[in-house]
Structure formats: structure tokens, C-alpha cells
Amino acid sequence: DTPFTLIAGPCQIQSLDHALETAERISGICEGLGLELIYKSSFDKANRSSIDTPRGVGMDEGLAILDEVRKRYNTPVLTDVHEAGQCAHVAEVCEVLQIPAFLSRQTDLLLAAAETGAAINVKKGQFMAPWDMKNVADKIASTGNERIMLCDRGTSFGYNTLVTDFRGLPIMGETGYPVIFDATHSVQQPGGNGTTSGGQRQFVKTLASAATAIGVAGLFIETHEDPDTAPSDGPNMIPLDQLEALLEGLVAFDGLAKI
Amino acid sequence: DTPFTLIAGPCQIQSLDHALETAERISGICEGLGLELIYKSSFDKANRSSIDTPRGVGMDEGLAILDEVRKRYNTPVLTDVHEAGQCAHVAEVCEVLQIPAFLSRQTDLLLAAAETGAAINVKKGQFMAPWDMKNVADKIASTGNERIMLCDRGTSFGYNTLVTDFRGLPIMGETGYPVIFDATHSVQQPGGNGTTSGGQRQFVKTLASAATAIGVAGLFIETHEDPDTAPSDGPNMIPLDQLEALLEGLVAFDGLAKI
Amino acid sequence: DTPFTLIAGPCQIQSLDHALETAERISGICEGLGLELIYKSSFDKANRSSIDTPRGVGMDEGLAILDEVRKRYNTPVLTDVHEAGQCAHVAEVCEVLQIPAFLSRQTDLLLAAAETGAAINVKKGQFMAPWDMKNVADKIASTGNERIMLCDRGTSFGYNTLVTDFRGLPIMGETGYPVIFDATHSVQQPGGNGTTSGGQRQFVKTLASAATAIGVAGLFIETHEDPDTAPSDGPNMIPLDQLEALLEGLVAFDGLAKI
Amino acid sequence: DTPFTLIAGPCQIQSLDHALETAERISGICEGLGLELIYKSSFDKANRSSIDTPRGVGMDEGLAILDEVRKRYNTPVLTDVHEAGQCAHVAEVCEVLQIPAFLSRQTDLLLAAAETGAAINVKKGQFMAPWDMKNVADKIASTGNERIMLCDRGTSFGYNTLVTDFRGLPIMGETGYPVIFDATHSVQQPGGNGTTSGGQRQFVKTLASAATAIGVAGLFIETHEDPDTAPSDGPNMIPLDQLEALLEGLVAFDGLAKI
């Protein structure tokens, strides 16, 4: 068995320079640890808590930047899509299209993404049971595209709070598709700061360790050189200079989990 | 104070004849009880649990049918939109555009709907706290359109289950916008039947009575002459021949609630 | 049908004078409205959040005070028991023994209370489904005592929060036993203030109206002349001078619910 | 750092022979793996779902059996207490008194257990947040007894379901007291089988691996040579012949977690 795949990058695409710098550092770390990297960053935050928070650089500029990242660092790139009409264009650049959790039951979006032939990473809706993801995977597979990853990013638990039910990882695994654990959004506190979401960065290691010991196919971890100034998901991203130490620990657990 | 507004109709548009028949019966009942009716029906079920369940007649045929309903029965009509690009076209026919719960944080859809100038009925996401709906209303109002209704259809509670927190009605009411209670989807059991959602029709009256006693501006109740054969939401729709008796009881509560 | 029974009083027994004054006022209000009163007050808060908060006057003094209340105002009295050994003694004074929610599955306590022959008001554990209360009632009824009331005081919903699922009232009603809605503890925020529980007094009317419209057999409402200085449950008790107006509205709903 | 402590045994004390046989096998496994064992078994199941299910051998016979186990296998023993009056007697035999989750806020029970001077293992109530356990520990510590273990056995999540929030382990650890993860009751489905609780034995390894990777002080695992015939908690106990392999894997994770 190979080590877990790492899906990582800053939550938002901020600029070409910023993307290249983070890609260089993350790909260097992954190379050192023998991890396969998929670089992740978003061109549009389409469901911000409030109308007053920044949404991103937009699709055209975003894809141009991701294209540069993939060429320079020879790494597959992933970004999220929000409407069916975006999928074909995004798939020209991105090896992986990501379906956001809130949109995980939107049939047209799932089908349009699937029909590009790209790999699809679907986040489990916070309102869904892990066994309900089989129906989601079946929608994608109905197009003939079986390059599917199922990703857990937490489940609604009271108000403004998510909980990770780790039984969900093996349950989603029963579909036969690889299971990814999103350690960044699982510690999000949706709407928890009034007009933005809060987060609990201090539990990323806790939950990522748990997921790795259970034996996931991949981890999703957003990171930023200075999360507290990041335009989104700052409270739950980990500082880039802590990524290597975190991953070293996780690789060790992964080795044991996959014996 | 006036009695509550009733948003009602069969979950899906099935045919012109079916729409006209249900509209005739429901508008007759509302006239008798002094209730203002908004006729509701969907042209597309865009987020079915499974790829194998029917989605509807489509937008063009659906809007033509709704247009006929509004002309014949002189009633405003409401339908739900799923992508920003649909809004302008739908608003040519419908007085009210509805934002589905899963999509209640999709900024582009909210803005496109708002910019038509139509009234907007937004369902609270099952993953949202009632106080988070202020941000949603603010997105709509940022366009200058303040014709907003906030609608509760239940909150995630464990797996495959919703619960209605009735504290949410006055909390959403603090925005100043009218609050609607959706008695049909609040008794849905999402994903509860494997590849379709289940429902608990037997609790529609229970929850609608509670909401009316608290004093809502409107009720949302789907109904069908034979729910068990309906193409969607059958388990939670009430039979059309029980609608009048249900509403009579609710009107009485409403009268007391608004003294 | 008769109007709902009211179980009311201050959370804790504070002194003989305090008990008599509150009993006088509450029994006067109930007489005026045609409601049957059961006077409630606790001699011991046996599960306070913190070791540093006051527990009460104790069993002997508490029972003496309750005995005086029942004689002077000719009203049945209710108090809660915490260990099996207390039941026989408490039943010498109290017409109703109450089983606290946390203890609702303690078999010995249920049996000891039941064997006194007193009526038993069992709170549904916050960790229990409404249908699980049938097993609790069966434990009591196994002694031959069927004078059972089942009382809803909210269900765990995330952390430090309760939600009332109003479907639970008719579900518990299927046992055939009368169902009581506790409007005071349903708006409690357990542990929500650090070393004490918080509460949302502003929602007592909301939830009590909902319950009454659904048609409960009784309401449980704690009240105090100055809740903010009360030794426990202050944040969720309503001021005594608001009780009459609240009950007037509820009696009207009750009349409609039981037509 | 030393490996985790193991609290293990069959849920109920069935007979002296049965206790000795299981103790022999479990203590042999622990010796081989370098784990410190605390033998656990209950003399009374005081909160069974239904009145019709067996409760156990009783306190006197149970303590005699546990005493024999501790002498023959030179292992500390743990059992659970349900009323304050039991504590002193139980502490004559048991090195550890356990407070059941439902009773975790009963002040008298906590104090009586603490005053024996025995070590106390308190289960977190399913209705409590992890940070609320500080108040529970403070009650115990108020007696001067600081031999406290805080144990997570799951949190209410909808009806008849528990979820483990693994953030709770480090949160409870901030008290400074050792944290135990109960892998058996965390996979219980309370009331899930009608008149008994269900369970998901298949997830014991999943959750125990997660907890060990996070770095707990101890694990609580009930086991039985034939769980499907056990008088209680059968669906969530693991077969005794699978215990050694399970523990070997966990010891490896523990070694990494405590580097």
C-alpha cells in the first residue's frame, strides 16, 4: 500500500506569486515525505456567510494561475465548481473537480462534472449520513466516470458546530471508492463568528491523526503562511511552517494503519 | 392582522390538467376560509436522493403550466430555482421565486433571484442556525429587493432525521421579514428510505398547529390527491381531501395567536 | 375535556414564607382560570453543574414546608426524588413524585417511587427518544401503579443546548398516559454559563403555546417573584407577575386544541 | 511514557468461574503486551432499557467474585456504583469505583465515591459537553481525592445514536486528569433494539485506533467469549478471541502517539 495522498493548498487563490510560493513549499515537503500531492485552491468562494466578505479572483484568472502551478511543479491541481456550466472549462486545467458539501446532492452539477472525465472529489453534505453518499457516487458513476473520491468534512451537530463521526470513513469506504478526510473544514464552526465562520485550528492534528490511524486514502489540509490574515477559512487553516512536522507524524500512523 | 398566507400545491408539476385540478380545489378552499393562496409546484427536482427517481417536466413546460394556473385562478405562483441563469426566465411567470434549503448560501443564486424584483422565499438550510438567516436576507436585500420571506423546513438532527426548533420562528422574525413554516418538509426523513426520502405525514397537523399558535406569517403545505402515488415527497404530503379540515383548525389558532 | 393541569412553583423551596406566598398567588391565578394546580418545588438540587452552588433546604424541612402548602391551599404537591430510599418518606406528603430526567432509566428509583402508590411524573431523559419512554412507563406499571405522567423537558442537541421535538408529545401520548410539557427546562441551556446552566426565558411562551395547541394534558412552568435572584434555574423561570397573562393565552389555545 | 492502561472484562459478572476464566485470559494478554490491566465487571445493571432484562448477581456476590479475581490475578478491579450508600462497601474490594454516565452529575454519588479514597472513573454523560466535565472533576476533587479518570463513551446525536467527538479527549485532558476512551459503549445504540440497546461491534477497532492515535491514557473495552449470548451489551462487546490482535495494533499506535 502507498501512503495517503495529500490534497493541500491555501483556501483561496490570492495571486500567481502566492500560489507559486505555497506550491513550491508544499510540493517540496511532499517530495521529502514520499507523498503524492494534489494542489488545491479556490477561484470563487460561492457560499460565504455574508455578502461583505471577499469571494476570490474569479474563474479565468484562477484557472490561469492553477495551470501555471501544475506546469511548474508537475502536480495535479484541484478546484471546486459551483454550477454545471463551469465544469467543462475547469476540467481543461484541473485533474480533479471538487463538489462542495452544500451542493453534494445537485444532480446537474454532479453529472456535468462527471462527464468531463476528470476525477471528482465530492464532499459529504453536512446534512447527510455517510451511507447516503452511495447515492451521490452512483449519480457520478452513471456517466461511466468512476474516478470518484468521497470526502468527509464533518456533520451538523447542533448549531454552528460540526462533529466528525469517524465511523463514516469505513462506511463510505464500503462503496469501493477512496475516502478522503478533510481535516480543515471538519474543525470549522459554520457561522460561528457572526458574519464569518469560526474554526478550531488546534484540533487539526487531533482529527487528522485519528483519520490516518483508521486508514484513509487521502487527507485534505488547507494551509497558509499566515492564516490569520487569509481571506477565508483562516481560523481553521494551519500555518505553512507547521505542515511538515504534522505530516511526518501522520505518515508514521499511516504506515501502521496499512500494515 | 390578517390570517396566515398559504403556500400550497403538489410537490411536482405533473401535467396541465393535474395542476389546474389541484389549483381549483385549493383556491376554492382558501376562498372559503379567507386565506391568501400562493400556488406552489416544482418543474425540476434538482437534488433527488438517487439518479433513478423522476425529476419533473422541465422549466419551459413547467412555467407554461404555472402561467395557466395563475391566469385561470387569479393566484400568485411560486416555484424553486436552482441556478442563477434560471431566475430571470422564471420571474416572467412567478410572483415568488423560492431558494431551496441546500442552496440557501449560494450567493450568485440569491443575487440573481433578488435582482428579478420578484418576492423571494428562502428556505433555511438544514445545516444552519436560525440566526444565520440574517446574513442570507442581507445578501438579498443588498440588491435593493426587500420582498423576502424566511422559511423553516427543519434542522439536521442526527442522521436521516430533521427536528423543528420552534424558537427559530421568532428568532428569524427579528429580521423584520415574514416567517413561513414549511409543515411538509419539516416531517421529511432525508434519505430515510434508502434511495428516496421518507416522511411522517401524521405529524403535519402537530407541527402546523404549533407554528400557527406561535404566530407565523405563512404556512407551506404540499398536498396531492393521492400522495402515495406522487412522484416525490409522497410520504410527507397530506391528501388533498384532508386539507380543508386541517386549515379550519389552523385558522382558529391563528386568530388567537394574532389577538 | 378539561383544561390542562398546571404544575407550577419556584424551582427550589427557599423558606416556609416564600413557599406560602408563591402558593397563594399561583393558586389564586389557577382558581380564576379554572386550572387544576399541582404545586411544585424541590428540597434538594442533587445534580447542580458545580459543587459551589446551593442545593436547598433538605428533605425534612422541605417536606414540612410542602405539607403546610398543601394544607393551607388545598393543592396537591409535587417534588423530585433522587434515591430509592427517599420515596416512601416523600410520598407521605406529596401526591406526585417526580423522577428527574437524568435518572429516568434508574430502575430502582422508578420502582421505589411507583411502589408508594403516589402519582409519578417522569421527565424524559435528554438522551432518550420519545418512544423509549414506553419502557420507562412499563417499569413503573410493573408494580401495578398506573398513575403515570410522561413529561418532555427537551432533548440534547449539540453541546449546552436542548431542542424540543414536538412530535414527541403525540408519540409519548400513544402509551395512553397523560403527557406534560415542561416549558421551563425546555429552554434551559445545560452548563451554558460555565458553572451554572443558562436559560432562555423569552421562549417559554413560544414553546408553551406550541405545546398547548398540540393538546397536552398538562404544563410544567416554574416561576419566581424575582427569577434573577433565584438560587437555581433563574434564567429560565418566568416572573410571577407575568404568569397570569401567559396562562390566559394558553387556556384559549387549550380550548381550541381540545374541541 | 508508559503504554495505555486497559480497563477490560465482561460487561456483567455472570459467575465466579466465568469471571476467573475471562480474567485469566485478559491478564495473560496484557502481560504479554506490557499493558497494565484493570479488570472491569458489573454486579448490577441499574438502568436497563426494560424491566424484563436481567440485572446481575447483586452487590454481595459480585464483590466476592471481584475480590477473588484481584487476589488470583493480582490485578486491580473496577465496578460501577449507583447510589451513594454503596460506595464504602464497594471500595473495600475495588481499587476503582466507576460513575455511570447517566449519573455523572449526581453530587451525592460523586462525593460518596470520592470520600472512599478509591480512584474514580467518571463517564461523561451523553448529554454533556467535554468541557462540562471539569465541574464533575471539581466535585470529586473537593473531597481531597484527586485520583480521577475522565472517560468518554459518546455523546447524544439524534435519537438512539451516539457519536464520538474526538476533540473531547484533549479538551477533557486540559483538566490534567487522565482521559480514558470507552470503545465499547461509544458504539452502543441506546434503545436501538426496542427493549434493549443495539451496538456496532464492527466499529470498536475504528474508534479505538483513532483514540489511541490521539494519545489517551487508557482504553475501556468490554469483551466476552461469546458476546451474542451475553446478558447485556452483547452487540457492542468484542469476542475475547479477537482481543489480543486488536490490542497489538493499538499498542503500536500508542507507541507513535507518545513519542
> CB contact, 8 Å: C251 with chain B?
no
Residue D131 at interface with chain B, using a CB cutoff of 8 Å: no
Contact (CB<8Å) A132/B195: no
Mean pLDDT for the stretch of residues A73-93: 97
Lowest mean per-residue pLDDT among B170-179, B225-234, D142-151, D238-247: B225-234
Question: What is the torsional sign of CA A147, A153, A156, A159?
Answer: negative
Q: Which of D242, D198, D196 has the alpha carbon at shortest distance from D221?
A: D242
Give yes or no for residue A211 having a pLDDT over 70. Answer: yes
% of residues, chain A, pLDDT over 90: 90
Binning pLDDT at 50, 70 and 90, where does residue D1 land?
low
From C219, C227, C234, C225, select the one nearest C7 (Cα to Cα).
C219
Q: Is D229 on the interface with B (CB under 8 A)?
A: no
Chain B residues within 8 A of C187 when measuring between CB atoms = 167
| Residue A159 near residue B126, CB atoms below 8 Å | no
Chain B neighbors of A127, CB-CB under 8 A: 102, 125-127, 156, 190
Q: What is the pLDDT of residue B10?
A: 97
| Interface contacts A/C by beta carbons within 8 Å | 11
Q: Which of C146, C169, C156, C149 is nearest to C125 (CA)?
A: C156
Q: Do B191 and A55 touch (CB under 8 A)?
A: no
The pair phi, psi for residue A49, each rounded to 5°, is: -55, -45
Q: Per-residue confidence at A54, pLDDT binned at 50, 70, 90?
A: confident
Closest to D9 in 3D by CA, of D254, D247, D221, D212: D221
Q: Cα distance from A154 to chain D (closest Cα, Å)?
A: 11
Using a CB-CB cut-off of 8 Å, the residues of chain D touching A209 are 210, 213-214, 257
What pLDDT, on a 0 to 100 scale, did the predictor assign at position D51? 87
Please compute the mean of the pLDDT values over residues A120-134 and round it to a whole number: 97
* Alpha carbon separation from A125 to B125, B241, C48 (Å, rounded): 11, 36, 38
Nearest CA in chain C to B166: C207
B85-90 long-range Cβ contacts below 8 angstroms, 24+ apart: B85/A83, B85/A85, B85/B112, B86/B59, B87/B112, B87/B113, B87/B115, B87/B116, B88/B112, B88/B116, B89/B59, B89/B63, B90/B59, B90/B63, B90/B116
Q: What are phi and psi of C246, to 5 degrees?
A: -60, -50
Q: Is D161 on the interface with B (CB under 8 A)?
A: yes
Among B164, B166, B187, the residue with its CB nearest the CB of C206 is B166
Q: Does A165 touch chain C (CB under 8 A)?
A: no
Name the nearest CA neighbour of D218 among D151, D124, D118, D171.
D151
The per-residue pLDDT for range C5-61, each reduced to its tens digit, is: 999 999 999 999 999 999 999 999 999 999 999 999 999 999 988 888 888 999 999
Distance CA B209, CA B107 (A): 33
What are the cell numbers at A60? 479565468
Chain B neighbours (≥3 Cβ pairs under 8 A) are A, C, D
Higher pLDDT, B258 or D171: D171
Q: Touching check for A160 and chain B: CB below 8 Å?
A: yes
What is the torsional sign of CA D7, D8, D11, D17? negative
What's the pLDDT at A43? 96
Whether the CB-CB separation of D206 and A169 falls below 8 Å is answered with yes
Share of chain B above pLDDT 90, in %: 90
Report the sign of the C-alpha dihedral through residues A163, A164, A167, A172, in that order: positive
Can you tell me the ipTM of this complex?
0.96
B75-107 confidence digits (pLDDT tens): 999 999 999 999 999 999 999 999 999 999 999
Query: Which residues does chain B have within 8 Å of residue C253's beta carbon, measured at their own beta carbons?
Result: 213, 253, 256
Chain B residues in contact with D161 by the CB 8 A cut-off are: 158-159
Query: What is the chain C residue with the closest CA to B212?
Result: C210
Note the pLDDT of residue D196: 79
Residue B71: pLDDT band (50, 70, 90) is: very high
CA distance D235 to chain A (A): 16
Q: pLDDT-based confidence at B1, cuts 50/70/90?
A: low
- Please state, as a whole number, how many other Cβ atoms lie within 10 Å of the Cβ of residue A195: 15
Euclidean distance between CA atoms C50 and C53, whole angstroms: 6
The C-alpha cell 427546562 sits at C185
CB contact A157 to C (< 8 Å)? yes
B164 in contact with chain C, both atoms CB, cutoff 8 A: yes
Q: How far apart are CA C26 and CA C9, in angstroms?
A: 8
Q: What is the pLDDT of residue D52?
A: 85
Q: How far apart are CA A222 and CA A243, in angstroms?
A: 10
pLDDT, one tens digit per residue, over B166-192 is: 999 999 999 999 999 999 999 999 986
Cell matching residue D208: 479505538
Burial class (CB in 10 A: 0-12, 13-18, 19+), A1: exposed
Higher pLDDT, A257 or B192: A257
Decide if A209 and D206 are in contact by the 8 Å CB cutoff. Answer: no
- CB contact, 8 Å: B125 with chain A? yes
Neighbours of B229 (CB within 10 A): 8
**Cβ pair A167:D257 closer than 8 A:** no
Cα–Cα distance between A239 and A216 in angstroms, integer? 23
- Give me the DSSP letters along D107-139: HHHHHHHHHT--EEEEEPPTTS-GGGHHHHHHH
> Region D181-205: what's the mean pLDDT?
90
Nearest C-alpha of chain C: how many angstroms from D91? 20
Nearest-neighbour CA in chain A from B47: distance (Å) = 5
Would you call C129 an interface residue with chain B, using a CB distance cutoff of 8 Å? no
Contact between C157 and A161 using a beta-carbon 8 Å cutoff: no
| Cβ-contact B232, B45 below 8 angstroms | yes
Q: Are strands C218-224 and C238-239 parallel, antiparallel or unpaired?
A: parallel
Tell me whether residues A170 and D207 touch, CB distance under 8 A.
no
**All partners of chain A with 3 or more CB pairs under 8 angstroms:** B, C, D
Q: Do residues A88 and A36 lie in contact, with contact meaning Cβ atoms separated by under 8 Å?
A: no
C106 touches chain D (CB under 8 A): yes
pLDDT at site A225: 96
Tell me if residue D60 falls in helix, strand or coil: helix
In whole angstroms, what is the distance from residue D211 CA to residue B227 CA?
Answer: 47
Say yes or no for a CB contact (<8 Å) between D211 and A209. Answer: no
At residue B85, φ and ψ (nearest 5 deg) are -65, -15
pLDDT band at A1 (very low <50, low <70, confident <90, very high): low
Quick one: closest CA in A to C161, which residue?
A158
Q: What is the DSSP letter of B241?
A: G
For chains B and C, count residue pairs whose Cβ atoms are closer than 8 Å. Answer: 67
Q: What is the reported pLDDT for D29?
A: 98
Q: Report whether pLDDT(D118) > 90.
A: yes
- Asked whether residue B259 carries a pLDDT value surpassing 80, the answer given is no
pLDDT tops 90 at residue D226: yes
CB contact under 8 A, C47 and D107: yes
Contact between A3 and A253 (Cβ < 8 Å): no
Q: What is the pLDDT of residue C50?
A: 87
- Which chains reach chain D with 3 or more Cβ–Cβ distances below 8 angstroms? A, B, C
Exposed, middle or buried: residue A245 (CB in 10 Å: 0-12, 13-18, 19+)?
exposed
The answer to whether residue D192 scores a pLDDT higher than 80 is no
Q: Tell whether C212 lies on the interface with B, counting CB pairs under 8 A.
A: yes
Which of C105, C142, C190 is the closest to D102 by Cβ? C105
Which DSSP symbol is given to B43? S
pLDDT score, position C1: 63
pLDDT at A5 over 80: yes
Tell me how far apart the alpha carbons of residues A159 and C103 are, in angstroms, rounded to a whole number. Answer: 27
Q: What is the mean pLDDT of chain B?
A: 95
Which positions of chain C have pLDDT values less than 50?
Answer: none
Residue type, B38: I
Q: Given an 8 Å threshold on Cβ–Cβ distance, is B126 in contact with A127?
A: yes
Q: How confident is the model at residue D122 (pLDDT cuts 50, 70, 90)?
A: very high
C176 to chain A, any CB pair closer than 8 A? The answer is no
Collapsed DSSP state (helix, strand, coil) of residue A256: helix
Say if D53 is an interface residue toward chain C (CB within 8 Å): no
Neighbouring residues of A98: CB distance < 8 A, sequence distance ≥ 6: A40, A78, A79, A80, A81, A120, A121, A122, A123, A151
pLDDT at position D195 is: 78
> Which residues contact residue D10 at a Cβ distance below 8 angstroms, ignoring those fewer than 6 apart?
D18, D19, D22, D41, D222, D223, D224, D230, D237
* pLDDT exceeds 80 at position B124: yes
Interface test with D, best of B126, B159, B160, B189 (most D CBs within 10 A): B159
| C127 contact B CB<8A | no
Between B167, B206, B253, which is nearest C206 by CB? B167
pLDDT of residue A93: 98
C-alpha cell at C212: 398547548
> What is the per-residue DSSP string for chain C?
-PPPEEEEE-SB---HHHHHHHHHHHHHHHHHHTPPEEEE-BS--TT-SSTTS---S-HHHHHHHHHHHHHHHT--EEEE--SGGGHHHHHTT-SEEEE-GGGTT-HHHHHHHHHT--EEEEEPPTTS-GGGHHHHHHHHHTTT---EEEEE--EE-SSS-EE--TTHHHHHHTTSS-EEEETTGGGEETTTTSSS-EE-GGGHHHHHHHHHHHT-SEEEEEEESSGGGSSSSGGGSEEGGGHHHHHHHHHHHHHHHT-
